[in-house]
Structures are given as C-alpha cells and as structure tokens.
Structure 1
Amino acid sequence: MTGAETPAEHDCEQVLTRVYEFLDHELDEASGDAIRSHLAACEPCLDRFDVEQAVKALVSRCCGNDKAPDQLRSKVLLRISELSES
C-alpha cells in the first residue's frame, strides 16, 4: 500500500481501540463493516488484528472454563446496577 491508499493514522487508532468489540461481535453492523473494510486495506492493522485474535483464542482455550468467584460476580453486578441508575 502506498501514498494515498494508506489509511489515516487516526483511523488505525480507532480500529485498534475497538478490535476486541469487533472480535466479540459487540459492534453494530455499520461499525463492523467499517472495521472489516479498514482491515482489508491496511496490512499493519490486519497484522495487529491477527495477533489480538490469536491472543483471544489462546486465553479462551486456557481460561475459558474458569468461573468468576461469586464475590467478584456480585461486585460487578452491583456496579453495573449503580451505573445504569445514574
């Protein structure tokens, strides 16, 4: 990729900050399409995406069956409830 074809640096930053949302299918269709399009055009971001995807798969494989302690689960749910009320 050369010159005008190179995605803007701020676009790369935006894509990379949302990569886990993309991997977890948490983005709306338009945002997901924008990231897919960017990854197709930007080899450095695609390389980073591939690494993050591999890390996510490794963590899932190694720790995917671990259950959060009940106390942590309660604290998280309480905090979510507090945030949704404010």
Structure 2
Amino acid sequence: EIADLAKSIKTLAAVQRKTRKKPSQLDRHADDLMRLLQAGLNGKDLQRYLQSKPIQLFVSDSTVTRWIHKNGLRLSKPSTPTKP
C-alpha cells in the first residue's frame, strides 16, 4: 500500500514538472527587449517599458529577469570609467 502511494505521488510530481508549452508574452517583444538590454537598461527598466502606453503588458520585474536568463541574455552593467 505504501509503495503504491509513493508511486502515485512520484507520477503526480512528474506530471507537475512538465515544461510549459505556451510561449511567454515577452517573446512577442523580444527584439525590442534585446535592443534595450544592449542599451544598458535593467530588468526594472524593461518592466517599465512593457507597462508603457503602446504595449501595456503588466508583468513583474522578476518575470522579466527570469525571461532574460531563460533566453540566454545578460543584463548590461553600466560601464565605469577607467582611471588613466
């Protein structure tokens, strides 16, 4: 009985772990987001861009950051001037 219960729990866990097949809403704006990342904006700035008038997509900044990492992109760090 315990073995059957353990097996059903493991089966349920496997079903819950399946990857999401639905594309992200951010994928539609990937080109713009990549350009903005290259311009030095961070995840919070990208969130503000997505919430702006023409797009009006309301997602959290953690969602934007997760999307960036999932797509193999990097957040740009502001360049610091080097001393001569």
Instruction: Give the TM-score normalised by the residue count of structure 1.
Output: 0.36
Structure (1 or 2) with the larger CA radius of gyration: 2
Q: Which has the higher contact order (CA 8 A, sep 6+)?
A: 1
Higher helix fraction (1 or 2): 1
